[in-house]
Amino acid sequence: MAIPLSEFVKFYPLRAKGLAWLFGAGSSFSAGVPTAGDFIWDFKRKIYCAEQSLPLSLYTNLSDVGITNQIQNYFDSQSECPELGSPEEYSYYFERAFPSSIDRSHYITEKTRGMELSFGHKAMGVLLKNDFLKLIFTTNFDKAFENVASKNISSLEKWFCGDLDNANNALRYFQAGNRPLILKLHGDFFSERIKNTTEELKEQDDILKSILSISLDTNGLCVMGYSGRDNSIMKVLKEAILKENSYPNGLYWFIRSGSEPLPDVLGLISSAKASGKMAEIVEIDTFDSAWSDIIKGFDNLPKDDTDKLSQSYLRTANSPIPKKGSKYPIIRLNAIPILKYPATARLYKCEAGDTKAIKNLIQESKLPLLAIRKKTGIVGFGSDEDFKKAFADYGDYELDMYQVTEKDIIYDDSSMKGLITNSVSEALINGKPLRFTKRNNRYIIFVDPKRLSDPLLSSLKRNFVSLSGIIPKTKLIWVVGIEVSIQYASANPLLLLTPTIIASKGEIKEDNTLVAPYIKEFTARWYNQKYDEILNSWLEVFFQKKKEISISAFSEIKGINAHFKLARTTAFTRSN
């Protein structure tokens, strides 16, 4: 039976300096790195499509149970494949998908590109800086923990990261009692001896394993974001239990609420308890939320350090969702699936101003560009020549690519999410009698008042007496519109469509105060059936008779365009 995180928080500050940590892929999920489970399904997808001569693009939505069942049935029919959920799945499918170690290294590099430190990493950085976090083991290939150390410890001589290429140096650093120490048990994707397949894992570097083993004689161990899938590491943890004085500060294995640990993990905890050692399963919601609570248990951290832990840092909510309902009524939702969104954007490296300055330059140039300011430069979509013209005053530049990651559209405070929402709005109106505006962080598409007679608007006309009019007692024009926004649910990006009306802005203050009450009264009469009809009419404008559409923010350009693929069928739900 698992204990709540609050129980761990009570005693952790007292034992922190005597507890080592072991982190797996789950600790990097909120930083944009896939989990081990995500990797496994991607391997299966690539193998299945290659061996069945099927296009990968048809099997991108791995949250679709129908797709995963189809793929899994293929492997279930092959006796040599490990069972679904087996600890051997990761290494078996990785090696089968990429037999070459070079290709495996390149794959990991691509999957870990573009990651940022999440709130959890930053909280760890505070503890690392203040000598409460001394020993970190990780099976991850990314640079998250090195980045945590480098950002919080000014001198490179005061911490060390050991991997397969410098194991002897890591051992000397460990034996000398120097800390903090970070050990990458599966190597680093820059290492020439990266370990990530079954045979390689069985031959895990003896030196790195010995450091882990010896540390368990004098430290307790906390395990987070790690499933326990590879036998080489689990063997070290199990053998340590046989030693009389091992795990002096306990063994704590963190799992996500609602999930079940592997049988090997449950067996490890049971064996530890049977040997008289402190050992518990600890339930958490996410990596970030866990560290948010853990760091609250310390009352002796410098205020300057804790003040930097802003609540706006990236966090991922990954709590389990209820089972699918099967009963009526069916409730229709105003969301359509985003099947594809831009994987890359243009990166214009230069000494630029902030996002406001960037947008002012675009407005002044009257060039068709969509861009924001990021730390690495100007990021956006449009013609390369237009980038050069609009930002010529910034001088020297370099054109590069910016990777758009899943987390860019997960977090509401992400500037990239704003850029993607802006881009899909422009793509939806491209070539249509529609216009687009942004009002107070709301993205609204509306009918072009100068093109009300366009045949494409006939579906909307069936639901409105008029598509435009004048707000009473003012000179302000209103037009029919629809608000768009992007949400992420159950690993699926969705485009939310909310019918509304929008009014022009006037110079007379009294006129503007009449706008909100008029819109509220106008839309209040849109009950379920009426709302459904209006939503359908907008879908007809965007999709016509098609079930799916591929759209772009710009017509043909020489540069990076924003391409999207949308499905017409809106989401729905049933009650349990």
Phi, psi of 160 (to 5 degrees): -145, 145
- As given in the structure block, the two tokens for residue 33 are 């790195």
Distances (CA, A) of 278 to 16, 133, 261, 275: 15, 20, 18, 9
Tens of each residue's pLDDT in the chain, 576 residues: 688 899 999 999 999 999 999 998 777 655 556 667 788 899 999 999 999 998 888 888 787 677 888 899 899 989 899 988 776 787 789 889 998 877 887 887 777 665 667 888 889 999 999 999 999 999 877 777 888 888 888 777 789 988 877 888 889 999 999 999 999 886 444 344 445 555 544 444 678 889 999 999 999 999 998 888 777 889 999 999 999 999 999 999 999 876 788 899 999 999 999 999 999 999 888 888 889 899 999 988 998 888 777 544 444 444 454 555 666 555 667 899 999 999 889 999 998 888 888 989 999 999 999 999 887 889 999 999 999 999 999 999 999 988 887 777 776 657 888 999 999 999 999 999 999 999 877 899 999 999 999 999 999 999 998 999 999 989 899 999 999 999 877 667 899 999 999 998 888 877 878 888 888 888 888 888 899 999 999 999 999 989 999 999 998 889 999 999 999 988 665 555
DSSP 8-state class, residue 430:
T
Task: Examine residue 499 and say whether the peptide bond preceding it is cis (omega within 30 degrees of 0).
Answer: no
Element (H, E) at 73: helix 65-76
pTM across the whole model: 0.50
Identify the DSSP state of 300: -
- One-letter amino acid at 475 equals K
Which domains can be identified in the chain, with CATH numbers?
A: 3-33+117-307 (3.40.50.1220), 36-112 (no CATH), 335-575 (no CATH)
For residue 377, what are the CA distances in angstroms to 390, 393, 396?
Answer: 14, 14, 12
Q: 367: which 2 tokens? A: 């060039």
Residue 206 and residue 232 in contact, taking contact as beta carbons nearer than 8 Å:
no
Where are any strands of DSSP class E within 18-148?
Answer: 19-23, 135-138
Residue holding tokens 């004689």?
217
Q: Are 430 and 551 in contact (CB under 8 A)?
A: yes
Residues 472, 453 contacting (CB under 8 angstroms)? no
- Residue spans of beta strands (DSSP E) within 9-92: 19-23
Counts of helices then strands in the chain (DSSP H, E): 21, 23
Query: What does each C-alpha distance from 138 to 101, 180, 206, 313 come to in angstroms?
Result: 20, 14, 16, 23
In angstroms, the CA 503 to CA 518 distance is: 10
